[in-house]
Amino acid sequence: MYKVLIADKLSNEALAIFKENGIEAITKTDLDAKSLIKELQDCDGLVVRSATKATKEVIESCKKLKVIGRAGIGVDNVDLDAATSNGKVVMNTPFGNSITTAEHAITLILSTARQIPYADKTTHEGKWEKSTIKGVEVTGKTLGIIGCGNIGTIVAQRALGLQFKVIVFDPFLQDKRAIELGVEKVALDDLLKRSDFITLHTPLNEKTKNIISKEAFKKMKKGVRIVNCARGGLIDEVALKENLENGHVASAALDVFIEEPPKGSPLLGTKNLILTPHLGASTTEAQEKVAVQIAEQISDYLKTGAITNAVNTFSLTAKEYQSVKPFLKLSSLLGGFAGQLTENAIKSIQIEFEGTAANVNSAPLTQTIIYSLLKPTTDSVNVINSVLVAKSKSISISEVKHQKENDYQSLIKLTVTTDKQTRSVS
């Protein structure tokens, strides 16, 4: 019988899934590293949320461990390099929190519009500031969404229902998809100048770090309201404080911070600033979804070898792996290089395999290329779901295999077509 350690609390429904699949699931939470290693010695699987740390020491000390499941999106608490080098599959549940996070963003948008936290606080203090607390309507206002992936799309749909005019900055959003959503695709500067409200839903990387900078604030309307439920580091926190204090920004709400908890942050105590402790995924429904999903995924893997939502590997038989192995690193480098060169919405991806490369199982190579290509701009993408994520963005994918060798024994060529240009790397 397989055995799984639940190191952070899971729902009874998730535990029932393990039982139904004949897997022994034991729950022991709040373990330090030494205790965690001890408990894992006879376990095949480990389930964590965000509290438990699957460090290099833990992973290397547990030879029997086969799979680590993260009930949620982020895997910062799992040493992926150690897991990969030690042959441990790491899975997450990238879509279980999307609705919950989007709804939290909408909640904060409305709270900034009507000063709800301040009104609540002063009323509890025995004050009656009905005449001094004045908000704004959202109907007819312009909401600027920075990043229109899975969560950004849900926010856009909800905002349209509130009769916002929605404009979006996302270089990877196709014009066709924007029309389907009923939003206007604009440049970042245009969004900053036109928006009454701004909400961020983009990954944190070198291109997006401090995307709301000191200079960006200067381009915004006086009285703008800003919400961030995505990642700490997207907003220059010092500049935000300055613009709240001088009245250029009417109100802001943050669920994420550069450092969490934000002890000693200059933002603490700032007037007209709503702060929540990273509650984006904290609903009963979201926690239930991710718990059930990870239980199902781990059960499938242990019983059948099926891999779902892996962040460090993909599904292959042992024989296939040996034939594909020489081309995996090349595929990762090709996709990553093309991703660095791509700054506009991708329309199509064509991958050509020639010679020996045309005779192996190309699925993991294609998945690896697309994952590496999309990774800089898409939080929820992993090797397993990369093709589905690309298709959800209306990106056309094609494979071409040339059995005949030309100048090289093996060749892989990647061609990426965007709204602006076509580039090829090989």
CA distance 83 to 158: 39
Residue position matching structure tokens 């960006």: 216
For residues 249-273, give the mean pLDDT: 94
Structure tokens at 199: 């909400």
Q: Where are the domains of the chain?
A: 1-94+284-313, 98-275, 316-426
Provide the 8-state DSSP code for 400.
Answer: E
Structure tokens at 167: 């404009």
58: pLDDT strictly greater than 70: yes
Residue 321: the pLDDT is 67
- CA triple 399-401-402, angle to 5 deg: 150
Buried-state track 208-234, b at ≥16 Cβ within 10 A, e below 16: bebbbeeebbeebbeebbbbbbbbbbb
Residue 403: the pLDDT is 74
Structure tokens at 259: 């450092």
318: pLDDT strictly greater than 60: no
- Mean pLDDT, the chain, as a whole number? 92
Residue position matching structure tokens 């000191």: 214
Residue 96: the pLDDT is 86
One fold for both 1-94+284-313 and 98-275?
yes
Q: What pTM was estimated for this model as a whole?
A: 0.74
291: Cβ–Cβ under 8 A, 6 or more apart, which residues? 10, 11, 13, 14, 71
Domain 1-94+284-313: CATH architecture, name and number where available: 3-Layer(aba) Sandwich (3.40)
Phi, psi of 295 (to 5 degrees): -65, -40
260 is catalytic: yes
247: pLDDT strictly greater than 90: yes
413: pLDDT strictly greater than 80: yes
Q: Are the beta carbons of 343 and 170 closer than 8 angstroms?
A: no
Higher pLDDT pick, 41 / 405: 41
pLDDT digits (tens, 9 = 90+) for 176-187: 999 999 999 999
Q: Which of 98, 52, 113, 150 has its CA nearest to residue 283?
A: 98
pLDDT digits (tens, 9 = 90+) for 14-29: 999 999 999 999 999 9
> What fold is seen in the domain 316-426?
60s Ribosomal Protein L30; Chain: A; (3.30.1330)
Higher pLDDT pick, 362 / 403: 362
Within 86-213, where are the H helices?
A: 98-114, 116-124, 150-161, 175-181, 188-194
CA distance 197 to 226: 6
| CATH class of this structure's domain 98-275 | alpha beta
Please tell me which residue in 49, 104, 201, 231 is annotated as part of the active site.
Answer: 231
**CA dihedral sign of residues 90, 96, 98, 104:** negative
325: pLDDT strictly greater than 90: no
278 is catalytic: yes
The percent of residues in the chain predicted with pLDDT above 70, rounded, is 97
Please tell me which residue in 248, 278, 402, 423 is annotated as part of the active site.
Answer: 278
Please tell me which residue in 260, 285, 343, 405 is annotated as part of the active site.
Answer: 260
For the CA atoms of 331, 337, 339, 340, what is the dihedral angle to 10 degrees? 160
Residue 378: the pLDDT is 84
57 is catalytic: no
